[in-house]
Chain A
Amino acid sequence: DAGVIQSPRHEVTEMGQEVTLRCKPISGHDYLFWYRQTMMRGLELLIYFNNNVPIDDSGMPEDRFSAKMPNASFSTLKIQPSEPRDSAVYFCASSLGISYRQFFGPGTRLTVL
């Protein structure tokens, strides 16, 4: 298995632009997680899905952030409009169950100028 796949690996955009991050979980995993990592705040859970359904989005910072999972093999995290403080590394992870080990993707490094 190729593991969790994220794209793009790097994204540089200007403030106010829409940003879409993509994730393909490991086949057969029923949980998908989106995290954000910064030096100041560490690793934060943004939202997670179970069988494509959002379960807990309490970590989503504000309405500018939205996440979807249209099918079991694809999820997106969208930021619209983006702001410089959104600059971070965004990770996607998947697992076979809610309390099982998580497999992380390589991350997307987002820079908002």
Chain B
Amino acid sequence: SQQGEEDPQALSIQEGENATMNCSYKTSINNLQWYRQNSGRGLVHLILIRSNEREKHSGRLRVTLDTSKKSSSLLITASRAADTASYFCATDVSGDMRFGAGTRLTVKP
């Protein structure tokens, strides 16, 4: 069963714009991870944020975590056409990893 739920389900933006995706979950977590999946490929890990962290950066990626609201957001700044993919959040509950349904991001050149 899925624990994390991404919002929106689909997002279409122009190259250069920022993209924000949200993830909500139900139970307490050890950490939350974001993954990217290009069409027809496996998932690629982007970033991991632990339950005691509030914000993390990696290149053009910024992830926030609000454990009181049980939510996380992934911000991609200055998007590129190559960022077109599906993005998934995965919540780790005592080792049990659950993935959300994903956000389909389309970046138009």
Tell me whether A91 and B102 are in contact in the complex, defined as CB-CB below 8 angstroms, given that A33-B97, A56-B96, A99-B92 are known contacts.
Answer: no
Tell me whether A102 and B45 are in contact in the complex, defined as CB-CB below 8 angstroms, given that A42-B2, A42-B101, A43-B88 are known contacts.
Answer: yes
A4–B44 Cα distance when bound, in Å, is 12
A2–B8 Cα distance when bound, in Å, is 34
Please report whether the interface of chain B is mostly helix, strand, loop or mixed according to DSSP: strand
A106 within 8 A of B: yes
Beyond contacts A42-B101, A99-B92, A101-B48: 20 other A-B pairs, Cβ-Cβ < 8 A, are: A4-B42, A42-B2, A42-B99, A42-B100, A45-B97, A45-B98, A91-B43, A93-B42, A93-B43, A98-B92, A98-B95, A99-B30, A99-B95, A100-B48, A102-B45, A102-B97, A104-B42, A105-B42, A106-B41, A107-B42
